[in-house]
């Protein structure tokens, strides 16, 4: 079933168009990279749509507004975790903005897992969020394990019952290895496989 989806010309064209956007992000400036990081901070424990809407509400204020302003904007946009995420955005900005691309690029170019480890030092960024960020700036060798991928793997019999909200780091890596095996069998990168599974589960490619 998944193989036929990967080979479907219409779906494949849409996925590869999205992949090209991520590759363009890789060449973009620090502002684009920090915007993608902010998106991943907002996506944690929220839907992608909610996070994306909140990011658009914030606009350029992610680069300079104080915590109170960011909190107020998130709240007005009906984003649920406006207190916590405002704090995380400010902490991330103070920690990495201005050097994010400079520090992550050489690591990711040589070892994407090392780059992910580096990103875990940012408050609010876990394994899923770090993998999501790296995929969105053009690196495709890590899996973004969310409830959609968990549901998919369970339905095909690749895993048993798994609580996506309480994944240990070792369990995440174990599930990632399962997805990498599936991706290898389909001759695509695991980060691109994610887009096909996302399309299968949600009928969209917006992630």
Task: Provide the annotated active-site residues.
Answer: 128, 146
Distances (CA, A) of 163 to 156, 172, 175: 17, 11, 12
Task: Specify the 3-state DSSP secondary structure of 24.
Answer: helix
Could you give phi then psi for residue 194, rounded to 5 degrees? Answer: -55, -40
Q: Residue 111: left (phi > 0), alpha (psi -120 to 50), or beta?
A: beta
Burial class for 36, CB neighbours closer than 10 Å (0-12, 13-18, 19+): buried
């Amino acid at each position: 079933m998944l193989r036929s989806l990967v080979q479907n010309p219409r779906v494949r064209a849409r996925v590869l168009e999205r992949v090209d956007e991520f590759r363009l992000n890789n060449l973009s400036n620090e502002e684009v990279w920090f915007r993608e990081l902010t998106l991943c901070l907002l996506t944690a424990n929220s839907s992608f749509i909610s996070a994306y809407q909140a990011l658009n509400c914030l606009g350029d204020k992610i680069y300079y507004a104080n915590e109170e302003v960011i909190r107020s904007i998130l709240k007005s946009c009906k984003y649920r975790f406006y207190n916590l995420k405002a704090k995380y955005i400010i902490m991330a900005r103070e920690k990495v903005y201005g050097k994010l691309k400079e520090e992550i690029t050489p690591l990711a170019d040589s070892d994407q897992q090392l780059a992910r480890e580096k990103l875990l030092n940012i408050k609010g960024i876990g394994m899923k969020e770090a993998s999501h960020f790296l995929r969105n700036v053009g690196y495709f060798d890590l899996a973004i394990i969310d409830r959609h991928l968990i549901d998919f793997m369970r339905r095909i019999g690749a895993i048993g019952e798994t609580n996506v909200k309480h994944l240990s780091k070792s369990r995440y890596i174990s599930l990632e290895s399962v997805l990498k095996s599936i991706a290898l069998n389909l001759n695509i990168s695991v980060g691109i496989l994610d887009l096909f599974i996302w399309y299968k589960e949600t009928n969209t490619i917006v992630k």
